[in-house]
Structure 1
Amino acid sequence: MLSVADAREVRRIKARVEAERLPQGADPSRHVKLGRGSLSDVEWFVQLLQLQHAASLPALRTTSTLHALAAAAEAGLVPAPDAERLRAAWLIASRARSAMTLWTVKTADVLPTDRRALDGVARLLEYPPGSASQLEEDYLRATRLARQVFERGFYGEQS
């Protein structure tokens, strides 16, 4: 069981990571690893739940973020709509990161603003030709909704 003080420390560390790890000048709404509502938010959210509840819920004892999230939702720790928002953001961020790496032939963590590159990433994600804007809208919406869940569930409940 995670103490209140330890949970507070986890939250403090996450806030510090947000302040210090995002590269200078990077747009936090487009950073698929460390940005708002992206991979880092979903993983920290799930890992805090694991620290708080895995002693009594064996299904949370997994290294898979999505399996742990599903187990948390099934146990009633996260409302199903919130779990789906987190899952959707994790999936689009993870898939976009992989597609960006394929497109640029190097690890890439920022959703491109260049329309040609963004369309290339969209095509790798099986969007139809000319779907750069649709991918961008889908990503920004998914991560915005996930960030709302994250802020409410990670920082909002101080247990």
Structure 2
Amino acid sequence: MIDPMDPGTYVRLDALRVGIVDDSAYFRKLAETMLGAFGVRVILQAATEAEALTLVMTQSPDVLLLDWNLGTAGNGAALLDLLRRHPDERVSTLAVVMVTAYADKRRMLTAVELGANDVLVKPLSARRLYDRLAELSSARQLYARRGNRLIPAVPPAKVIHDGPSEIIHVRSPLRGKTIR
């Protein structure tokens, strides 16, 4: 795990462009506050599936925090599938961290199968979010084609217990270490 208090392991995130896609203005503000505390300077936001697609196509984020359930504003899983099938590699290889309030195994595995680089369970831990962003920004992501979709080329994910809920931990594509 990356320790921001240890100067030898701190990863600067100031050059990262992060998009937040969630129908909840409260969650977007919370995530924006965390990202700002990490030093992220460019924070983009969208509340709907349509706004998110426009954001990705016009603003070119490096990482997208994508809520699974966008309420009446769309479906995060469908948007992830659309992004991974997109013919433009800049779009289809965008790092996507799915965020969900539901920690059931089926949903988590579906997110990974659709091509999520990682999955975080709400409520978000600032520590876990920082660790995920640091890992994504410091390791070159490899992708493999499955049918007509690009997905992160990582070993199969495993579900483990972490406190009261199950969360997905995937292995880093380059380092072979479990991302915590």
TM-score normalized with structure 1 length: 0.27
Kindly indicate which of the two structures has a greater share of residues assigned to strand.
2
Q: Which protein, 1 or 2, shows the higher relative CO under an 8 Å CA cutoff with sep ≥ 6?
A: 1
Kindly indicate which of the two structures has a greater share of residues assigned to helix.
1
TM-score normalized with structure 2 length: 0.25
Structure showing greater Rg: 1
